[in-house]
Chain A
Amino acid sequence: MSTDAAALRATQSVLNIPRNAEGPVFGAPWEAEAFALALQLHDRGVFTWTEWASTLGDEIKKAQAAGDPDTGETYYHHWLATLERIVAAKGLADAAVLMRTREAWQRACARTPHGTPIELRADDFEN
């Protein structure tokens, strides 16, 4: 399926994806990355959009209960929380592995001078 067709299916199946007349719009590059990750996992049959919409709805409710302003600006925060929850629930990557990798990226960033691409090394995973 082409990207456009896949994105169209996603926006039809999942309510409230920020969009204009031509399709989804993003507030920052990481939001587009998070969108692309979900699109590809869906393509591979990891979840259905119905499943996704219900988990995302649940994440949004949880965030609102915790004081999320619900202005639409935090939409992809919930999207990302949904991704993390679904990949854990499906046994693709658990929370501990994701946290360890996140910390490794943080170490890689800290040691990488600006102007050089950030790359992960094995020793970034050591504490």
Chain B
Amino acid sequence: MMQNHEEHDHHENGSELSEMQLRVRALETVLAEKGYIDPAAIDVIIEAYETKVGPHNGARVVAKAWSDPVFKQALLANASEAIVALGLMNRVGDHLIAVENTPRQHNMIVCTLCSCYPWEVLGLPPVWYKSAPYRSRAVNDPRGVLADFGVALPADTAIRVWDSTAETRFMVLPMRPAGTEGWSEERLATLVTRDSMVGTGLPKNPKDA
């Protein structure tokens, strides 16, 4: 298994929150301290909107890359530029890098801070993505984490874990499922799940779609 800590390019100089994030956090902290709100209840509300945040165009991006070799090349060269050029959104977080799954290498992304999740493409991070157990196990035992998600990869497929930094975010470009020859981009997009772009899942089986 490919697991190398030098690949984990941590940002060592502290973290950053935008002015808006700071103001929201300050409100939440003060109101929770005084008992006016319950942070757990806030989380429940936000979770209900997990898929309603951001343009959420990851599936269309992946389907396009499966169908259009020129776009795929552009996506792997510079995902931010390629996605903006598609016209799906005005801006994508500073540096988005798309990493391609192949029969030899499966990719997973991990990060603690939701600000380092490519929410413009994938929506809000699921709760497990932010949890400490996922973070540490994704790094130490990615194959075990995949097994928990019901994903079993061939033993000779290496797993590479990409740890987001404050400047760089990742998305996984999953492999196009067999049996989808001749499918339109629109139809292909229905196979692309959020988890398949985080690397904790595979695209849906075309037979079940």
Which residues in A have some Cβ–Cβ distance to B below 8 Å?
3-4, 7, 20, 22-37, 39-41, 44, 46, 76-77, 80, 83-84, 87, 92-93, 97-99, 101-102, 104-106, 109-118, 120
A27, B31: Cβ atoms closer than 8 Å: no
Residue of B52, B114, B119, B124 with highest tally of chain A CB at under 10 A: B52
Which residues in B have some Cβ–Cβ distance to A below 8 Å?
10-18, 20-31, 34, 36-38, 41-42, 44-46, 48-49, 52-54, 111-116, 119, 124, 132, 135, 163, 165-166
A37, B27: Cβ atoms closer than 8 Å: yes
A-B contact pairs, 6 of them (CB 8 A): A22-B52, A23-B49, A27-B53, A40-B42, A84-B27, A97-B30
> Which A residues lie within 8 Å of B25 (CB)?
101-102, 105
The complex places the Cα of A30 from the Cα of B116 at a distance, in Å, of: 13
Q: Contacts A41-B31, A93-B30, A97-B30: A30 and B10 contacting too (C-beta < 8 A)?
A: no
B23's partner among A28, A97, A102, A113 (CB-CB below 8 A) is A102
A98, B11: Cβ atoms closer than 8 Å: no
> Which B residues lie within 8 Å of A28 (CB)?
20, 53-54, 119
Question: Nearest Cβ in chain A — how far from B76, in angstroms?
Answer: 25
A117, B36: Cβ atoms closer than 8 Å: no
Q: Contacts A36-B46, A40-B37, A118-B113: A93 and B54 contacting too (C-beta < 8 A)?
A: no
B20, A111: Cβ atoms closer than 8 Å: no
A41, B36: Cβ atoms closer than 8 Å: yes
Question: Nearest Cβ in chain A — how far from B116, in angstroms?
Answer: 7
> Which B residues lie within 8 Å of A39 (CB)?
45
